[in-house]
Structure 1
């Protein structure tokens, strides 16, 4: 019996090769897209889920309230962790993590290890990062202890055992002992580094009394709570603790701390504070919805094409019933054919997924999976999904076809009826609605990406080459030497450039009422050439000038956002107001026009600028257009002469600034590709339905042509029903897509408007795509010789 079912199924499928190919290809593409999205969503949801104690690990976050604002910080004071551990028995232990750049040398090998992690000795007790060499209990206990990742260890030591060997760190070349080698950090964790240095190294290398610094925010603190601890109850005890320990200090400094505990497992997708890499739960939702849409479109195609061909198989069913076939047997036959198609689509989907996995990883900007065979559970889900699709998609055709009355169909009076037509139209309408919504969304996403790349940033970023000096004493000499090179138009030294990190500075500045207003403001430390080089505009006062000796110690430039924070409606009124910042006092000499020193996803925040040579770490050179490679080589030659102990590290500012948007650009690229796939699958189904509709109306078209119908009228006849569905789908898709994309744009402080032409363009694209898809069959039918179609009448 099974052999007979398979033989009949194969004959039927091979007889209608075009429909079979469309069905299998549509399902395969749909399942491939759904599978890849499933891997992406699973990866995003898996961040830091592998820690065995993860449900007890919380990040200690802090709201810092000043008279001006409330700063929601994911970074905490150095003193918080150890003092909380000593105070509350509910805390099993804590560990602090901080990042810094570190010069590391081993013989002639030297690297500037940006993103070096400093961690307390309890780091490996809290987190499940596995040491392959060394003792996790003691690896980070002593000062100047270093743990390398496996990749970093090979970089410095090759195949040698690094344990017990010594490297030199920082510009002072402090000897550090290698005490461990940890497995490379997985991609789905927030804590990543090439090397981990013991936190006890900080006082020795940087002369800081960490555990006593309540107001210095520089560490990310994690608390491991004891089993059964009520996190909310513990959190409620923190205000009284702060009052006892630093209540007076907070009142004097007018900065008040409010603690909160954030579950580590929620940080990547749900945290809104600065401090760590962040994902987007909205993106996870968006891609999950797209996956469902694509799979739904593929299923709609299958059901439509199968039910559309019901009439063709009616006589087959009638003859088999007369021959004694039971309804159950016929239903199983058609369900078997559906399952066979779905399994064929599943096999093709697995092959396509394997082929596309490297490209998908590249589009995602991360290794979502090294290969599909590393995801056994996901593959099993794909096979089960194909079986479920086969059963669900084949159920309606099986029920309809197996229920035919043999006497009716054998007399030639069978018709699929209005219910079948209504079902197909409803499913096609759903397809068009989804497709038009995706077209609208894709246009809006790319319009927003273009807006961010082309928006006036308030400074000139073109042809600026930035060399990272890490504060080396020779940076001023390097600046002077390269300023004389041909092709170098200007040179400036600073602590940061737009798009990079910047210091948060405790500041007291006179406001509109003349009172000293306390605020924690972003701070740039710059030289005299910085503002002119980046062509920043002054809206009041003046920029720094060598003509004023006091500018090096007693002058500050603020941006418009700072002036507004202080209550000044007229920027000129801020000039001359006094400030106190990091031990310096002086007066505001100018107000610079707001410029985007952070991503356009954020509002422009208050910023101060001062001359502070001790905090310079970058040399930026404005270069003439031309051979950039030659210019880089010239700067590198000068660097190697003047700073031989440090590697030459550089970047171009426009690329550096655009890095902030790479996550959104990757989102846009993925969105575009999956939207195209969804539209492609819709077109496949539309092509199949158009072909079948044309086939069913062959004799009608022949009669119309004999009666004098033109080619144009025949094309209109075959197209009008589909075009009506497009118009209805457009009316449904516009408000839905507008609402969803309006919500998505709320993540951006600066965003492109959703213009009416976007919807008009999407409707036009949908109509044009529909016409192109069905025109081939329509034109072919319209120009066919009517004699052939009427010969049998």
Structure 2
């Protein structure tokens, strides 16, 4: 019986090769897209899942309330975690991590390790980073202990055993010992480092006494609670702990702390502390919906094409029933064919997914997976899904086909029912509604990205090369040497550049009432040339000037956002007011126009600038454009080797660096576009199949119309009209849904576009053109056919 079913199924699939191909292609593309998105979603949802104690590991975070604002900080004071461990019996262990950028040398091999971190000795107790060599209990116990990942260790030691070997850290050449090697950290880990240096190196050598600095923030702190501990109960004890340990200092500084515990698994997707987020749950949800929609479109195609061809198999069903076949047997036959087709599509989608995975990793900007066969459980899910799709998608056609009355169909009077035609129209509208919504979404995403790239940022970022000296004592000498290079127009030094990180500074600024108001202001250390080089405009007062000797110690410049924070109606009213900040006192000498020193996703925050040569590690060089850029860069590298020979020369262009902030949005846009194209492609496959079948059903009618004088354009319009009406209905349904979805997506941006009417018009035109191009191919082919042959079809 099964052999007969299989033989009949394959014979029927081969006999109707075109329709079988369209069905298999649609399902293959749909399954492939769904599988890749499924891997992406699983990757995002399983951040830090490799940590076996993740369910009781929490990131310690802090709200800092001042008279001016409340800061939601992801970092904590250096003193918090160690003292919590000693005061709270519920805490099993703690680990602090502080990202670092360290010069590392071994002989002639030297690298500026930008992906380094200081970490407490309990790091390997809290997190499951697999130590291949070394003792996890002592690997980060003593000063100048270093643990490398496998990949990083090979840069310095090749195939040698690095354990116990020495290398030099920082520009001072401090001898450090390799005490451990760990496996490369998984891509979906919020802690990413190529090397860890013992935390005591930072707290006892580089910054002695910082462990007791309750007001000094900068540590990312993790607490491992004992099994069965209620984190909410621990949180309730934090206020009393802070009051007991640090209450007087908080009151004096007018900065009050509130501590919270963030579950480790929630940090990546849900935390928005510091005004930013690492992952984006909205994007994960959007792609999950897209995957479901694409698979739904593929299933709709299958149902549409199978039921549309039901009349062709009516006589087969009639004969089977006459010779004694039961309805359940006929239903099994057709469901079996559906499952076979889905299984074929499954194997094709596995091969296609394997081919496309490297491209998908590139589009996602991360290694979602090195290979699909690394996840046999995912393949099993896809296979079960394929069987499920075959069963679900085959049930309706099987019920329709097995219900034919043999007396009617064998007399040749069977025709497609109005219910079947109406269902097919509903399904076509459904799949094109999804496709059009994706087209609208794609246009919105790319319009927002264009808006962000073309918006006036309030500063100049063109033709500026930024070199990080990492605080080398010869940094001033390098800047002066760079000014002597041909095609260098200017140079400036600073602690940060727009788009880079910047520190918050405890500040007391005289407000409009004459009181010193406490605030945590973003702070740039700059030199006298910085404001002019970046073409930042002044709206009141003056810029820093060498003509004023006190500017190096007693002058500050604020932006307009800071002026508003302190209650001034006009920027000029803030000029001459007093400030206190990090041990400096003086007056505000000028107010600069607001500029976007962070992504346009964030509102412009209050910013202060001060002259502080020791805090300026970045040298920004404005160079002439054109063909001279390579020679200018080579000349700058030569000056670097003359002045700072012990460090590798590295640089970045300011415009590219600033635009990196939008990489995640760009990747989202590219993925969105690609999946929208796939959805449209699958929809068009179904439309092509239906158009082909509709044309075949009306072959005789077309022949008669041609004999009666109908032109090719008349017939093409006749055959296309019904499908275009369905697409127009889909546009009406999709537009409000797409507006709602993209309006919510744009809420993540402080500066955003308005979703204009032209976006919907453009999406409508694109979808109609695509539908016309799909349907017209078959319509014109039928219209130019010989009517004599058409009338002889029966």
- TM-score of the pair, normalised by structure 2: 0.99
SS at match of 1:478: helix
Separation in 2, partners of 1:306, 1:580: 77
Alpha-carbon distance, 1:93 to partner: 1.5
SS at match of 2:274: coil
SS at match of 1:549: coil
Instruction: Note if contact 1:483-1:491 (Cα within 8 Å) is conserved in structure 2.
Output: yes
SS at match of 1:274: helix
Alignment root-mean-square deviation, CA: 1.1
Please show how residues 669-684 of structure 1 align to structure 2 within 5 Å.
669-684=670-685
SS at match of 1:605: coil
Alpha-carbon distance, 1:210 to partner: 2.2
Alpha-carbon distance, 1:2 to partner: 2.1
Alpha-carbon distance, 1:204 to partner: 3.8
Residue number in structure 2 paired with 1:130: 130
Instruction: Note if contact 1:512-1:567 (Cα within 8 Å) is conserved in structure 2.
Output: yes
Separation in 2, partners of 1:707, 1:207: 95
Instruction: Note if contact 2:700-2:793 (Cα within 8 Å) is conserved in structure 1.
Output: no
Residue number in structure 2 paired with 1:18: 18
Separation in 2, partners of 1:284, 1:694: 41
Instruction: Note if contact 1:190-1:276 (Cα within 8 Å) is conserved in structure 2.
Output: no
Please show how residues 194-593 of structure 1 align to structure 2 within 5 Å.
194-274=194-274, 278-593=278-593
Alpha-carbon distance, 1:792 to partner: 5.2
Separation in 1, partners of 2:126, 2:12: 62
Write the deviation string for residues 340-381 of structure 1: whole angstroms up to 9, x where unpaired: 111111111011101101111111111101011101011111
1:688 aligns with 2:689: yes
SS at match of 2:245: helix
- Residue 318 and residue 785 in structure 1: after superposition, are their counterparts in 2 closer, same or farther (change >3 A)? same
Instruction: Note if contact 1:145-1:198 (Cα within 8 Å) is conserved in structure 2.
Output: yes
Alpha-carbon distance, 1:276 to partner: 8.7
Instruction: Note if contact 1:190-1:277 (Cα within 8 Å) is conserved in structure 2.
Output: no
Instruction: Note if contact 1:75-1:218 (Cα within 8 Å) is conserved in structure 2.
Output: yes
SS at match of 1:368: coil
Residue number in structure 2 paired with 1:765: 766
Separation in 2, partners of 1:126, 1:791: 80
Residue number in structure 1 paired with 2:635: 634
Write the deviation string for residues 536-567 of structure 1: whole angstroms up to 9, x where unpaired: 11111111111111111111111111001111
SS at match of 1:200: helix
Write the deviation string for residues 733-762 of structure 1: whole angstroms up to 9, x where unpaired: 111110110000000111111111000000
Alpha-carbon distance, 1:431 to partner: 0.7
Unaligned stretches of 5+ residues in structure 1: none
Residue number in structure 1 paired with 2:141: 141
Separation in 2, partners of 1:119, 1:789: 80
Between stretches 638-647 and 778-787, larger displacement belongs to 778-787
SS at match of 1:747: coil
Instruction: Note if contact 1:75-1:275 (Cα within 8 Å) is conserved in structure 2.
Output: no
1:789 aligns with 2:790: yes
Write the deviation string for residues 244-296 of structure 1: whole angstroms up to 9, x where unpaired: 11111111100000011100111000111139971000000000000000000
- Residue 276 and residue 604 in structure 1: after superposition, are their counterparts in 2 closer, same or farther (change >3 A)? closer
Separation in 2, partners of 1:231, 1:521: 32
Residue number in structure 2 paired with 1:663: 664
Separation in 1, partners of 2:325, 2:754: 63
Separation in 1, partners of 2:341, 2:115: 51
Write the deviation string for residues 212-271 of structure 1: whole angstroms up to 9, x where unpaired: 100000101111111111111110111111111111111110000001110011100011
Unaligned stretches of 5+ residues in structure 2: none
Instruction: Note if contact 1:220-1:275 (Cα within 8 Å) is conserved in structure 2.
Output: no
Separation in 2, partners of 1:329, 1:292: 31
Residue number in structure 2 paired with 1:86: 86
Alpha-carbon distance, 1:770 to partner: 0.6
SS at match of 2:755: coil
Alpha-carbon distance, 1:713 to partner: 2.1
Between stretches 38-47 and 276-285, larger displacement belongs to 276-285
Query: How many pairs align?
Result: 793
Separation in 2, partners of 1:440, 1:618: 42
Write the deviation string for residues 22-80 of structure 1: whole angstroms up to 9, x where unpaired: 00000000000000000000000110011111111111100000000000001000000
Instruction: Note if contact 1:556-1:587 (Cα within 8 Å) is conserved in structure 2.
Output: yes
Alpha-carbon distance, 1:199 to partner: 0.7
Write the deviation string for residues 180-206 of structure 1: whole angstroms up to 9, x where unpaired: 111111101000111101111113431
Separation in 2, partners of 1:612, 1:668: 41
SS at match of 2:713: helix
SS at match of 1:731: helix
SS at match of 1:728: helix
Alpha-carbon distance, 1:208 to partner: 2.4
- Residue 237 and residue 289 in structure 1: after superposition, are their counterparts in 2 closer, same or farther (change >3 A)? same
Separation in 2, partners of 1:754, 1:260: 38
Write the deviation string for residues 583-614 of structure 1: whole angstroms up to 9, x where unpaired: 00111111111111111110011100001011
1:725 aligns with 2:726: yes
Alpha-carbon distance, 1:702 to partner: 1.4
Instruction: Note if contact 1:525-1:615 (Cα within 8 Å) is conserved in structure 2.
Output: yes
Residue number in structure 2 paired with 1:750: 751
Separation in 2, partners of 1:448, 1:768: 25
Alpha-carbon distance, 1:326 to partner: 2.1
Please show how residues 182-197 of structure 1 align to structure 2 within 5 Å.
182-197=182-197
Separation in 2, partners of 1:290, 1:698: 38
Alpha-carbon distance, 1:706 to partner: 2.0
